[in-house]
Structure 1
Amino acid sequence: MSFVTHLECANCGKQFTAGQPHNLCTDCQRPLWVRYDLDAVKSAFPRERLAKRPADLWRYRELLPYADPANVVSLGETMTPILSTPRLGAELGLGNLLFKDESRLPTGSFKARGMALAITMANEFGIRRVACPTAGNAGGAMAAYASRAGMESYVFMPDDTPVINMKETHLAGATVVRVNGLINDCGRLVGEGRELMGWFDLSTLKEPYRIEGKKTMGLELA
């Protein structure tokens, strides 16, 4: 069951039907937000029940966009700890410096949160080929989750992307395309290839679900 009511343009407010793939607003080309029936969530899910659920990303399922749990694509995401760093805090003159250690996630960074939801939703919509531009950790995360779901993935990376990120992405199963240019050039190529290659564009803020995964950082902090 999903509590999503619709998607809404962050700029002009145009509404879009939930339950089907979307990229940007068709009127103004701005990002879309997922909207929920929060009153229904509150009624269906008393807060005290949260403590009894596993300490993972999916414990917040009433506030996540997927409808069918069978479509969830997971690599074992866990809640990440908040660590006190008193020595560094003292060096910086900060009394209580804390870090949330996102390296505990499956692909070693917070990008796993976003891609877990983006690939889950792609899976729910029957999408079998995805692509994104990146110069860092998003490529490895997308490749890993796409491989888990049995999808093809294509990652466009500037030539000066760190070799470790390129290798990680390749070893996780993606086709890596090195681009003699900047990240904008990579994004342009992903966009141009949509019709030719039939992939779904998972570029940052060009689809509405990566941010839904990343918001679980805030839910954990709350």
Structure 2
Amino acid sequence: MISLHTSVSHASALQCSQCQQTYALTNLATFSPCCHKPLLTTYHTPFGLSPTVLASRPFTMWRYREMLPLFDDIHKVTLGEGGTPILSLKKWANWYGYQQLLLKDESLNPTGSFKARGLSMAISKAKELGVEACIIPTAGNAGGAMAAYCASANLKATVVMPRHTPKVFKEECELYGADLVLVDGLINDCGKKVAELKAQNGYFDVSTMKEPYRLEGKKTMGYEIAEQLNWQLPDVILYPAGGGTGLIGIWKAFFELKALGWLSPSTKLPRMYAIQAENCCPVVATWNKKQPNASQYQGKPSVANGLAVPQPFAEALMLDVLRESGGIPIAISEDEMVQTVKEVARLEGLLVAPEGAALFKGLQKLIENKHIDPSENVLLINTGSGYKYLENLY
């Protein structure tokens, strides 16, 4: 049994995202047994905790330790994730006539993507709760991240990945010692294989939003954005949404920061825009009322592997964020992403992932369609390194 009394964490319970039924944090959890929906971690707001405490702490995601759900640091599995820079893209802004364009570059995380945040937290918590073997369906980056953190934690890792995924993602998993299973299809097909394998072998499934703690690692992007911008927020955030964990997590972080008093109660929250691939845009289809939800959506592979998520488990939460914030989802073509990767590289000296490139093109379209004004402060979140996608680009 985990002791909650000696913990620095102020996590209080797990809550069903649909009916708000609560569950204990001391038990290994997946999704809510009541509604079969994602579980969200809730917190007691630490009384008197000031952001001044951060000054002496290393700039990693663990600097927000009180608002993360690990109870004992002995179980913490970290490779130095978080603390990624926010860059001012002055050349791109000048070229396209924007007042201010910022980029949070998640490619500088361990294993080259923002997936490191979620998997650091998920594997730490799995270790604390006695898990010995983890399994994950992945479009690419999450598999490599889980394999790395399982290696660090001495846990067995099994990664289930689409066969068409670029070679570097496969080799990465094997280098970290994971068992790699290749499946014909997309990540939803991998999810079916995971269900079969975990039933046979007793693996713990860390699928996107089917366990509660990857979200808690990803939300630290929101904490960092606020801190790095001196507790002010941009007018607009563009996020490349496949499974949507980061979109949901960043939004969750802003409300937690208000509860902490680190953001003023009057702080206006950004409009959140979800950018998807035309080849696989279930949230766009649901938003535009072409389907009741994404449960039957059939997508195609994308050069942006992380956007090829045809049936996101947390679709309802993604739609909630867009509605609450005043944003919308839009989709970008394969050619637009490839050309924009090259254009950003030449103009800014940054090799962004195709998912990140989609944001640049998405911003242009949103400005053309009058959803965003060129005078607004805009933040893009590049979720991974373009170096891992070179095979997709040529």
Which TM-score tier does this pair reach, normalised by the shorter chain? over 0.9
Amino acid paired to 1:193: L
Q: Does 1:53 align with 2:53?
A: no
Deviations 1:12-67 (A, max 9, x none): 211111122100111211000001101xx133x32211112111111110000000
Larger radius of gyration: 2
Q: Residue 176 of structure 1: which of 180, 187, 190 is its match?
A: 180
Distance 1:176 1:196 in 2: 16
Question: Residues 147-158 of structure 1: matches in 2 within 5 Å?
Answer: 147-158=151-162
TM-score w.r.t. structure 1 length?
0.95
- Deviation of 1:5 after TM superposition, in Å, equals 1.2
1:92 Cα deviation from its structure 2 partner: 3.1
3-state SS of paired residue (1:157): strand
Match 2:129 to one of 110, 120, 125? 125
User: What's the Cα RMSD here?
Assistant: 1.2
Aligned to 2:290: none
Cα deviation, residue 193, structure 1 = 2.1
Uncovered stretches (5+) of structure 1, i.e. residues with no partner: none
Give the Cα–Cα distance (whole angstroms) in 2 for the partners of residues 93 and 203 of structure 1: 40
Shift in Å, 1:181: 2.1
Distance in 1 (CA, whole Å) between partners of 2:193 and 2:104 is 34
Letter in 2 for 1:73: V
Question: Deviation at 1:91?
Answer: 3.1
216 and 181 in structure 1: CA distance in 2 versus 1, 3 angstrom threshold: same
Between 96-105 and 203-212, report the one with greater CA deviation. Answer: 96-105
Q: Runs of 4+ in structure 1 displaced over 3 angstroms?
A: none
Q: Which one is further off, 111-120 or 15-24?
A: 15-24
Match of 1:34 in 2: 41
Alpha-carbon distance between aligned partners in 1 of 2:219 and 2:212, rounded to the nearest angstrom: 12
Q: TM-score, normalization: structure 2?
A: 0.54
State whether residues 160 and 190 of structure 2, in contact with CA within 8 Å, keep that contact through their aligned partners in structure 1.
Answer: yes
* Residue aligned with 2:100, SS: coil
Counterpart pick for 2:13 among 6, 9, 14: 6
Deviation at 1:78, TM superposition (A): 4.2
Please say if 1:17 is aligned against 2:24: yes
Which amino acid in structure 2 is aligned with residue 184 of structure 1? N
Distance 2:59 2:162 in 1: 36
Shift of 1:188: 1.2
Aligned residues: 219
SS of 1:155 mapped into structure 2: strand
Instruction: Give the 3-state SS of the residue equivalent to 1:97 in structure 2.
Output: strand
The unaligned stretches of length 5 or more in structure 2 are: 1-6, 227-394
In the alignment, which residue of structure 1 is the partner of 2:110?
106
Correspondence 1:86-101 to 2 at 5 A: 86-101=90-105
| Partner SS state of residue 134, structure 2 | strand
The answer to whether the aligner puts 1:73 opposite 2:77 as a matched pair is yes
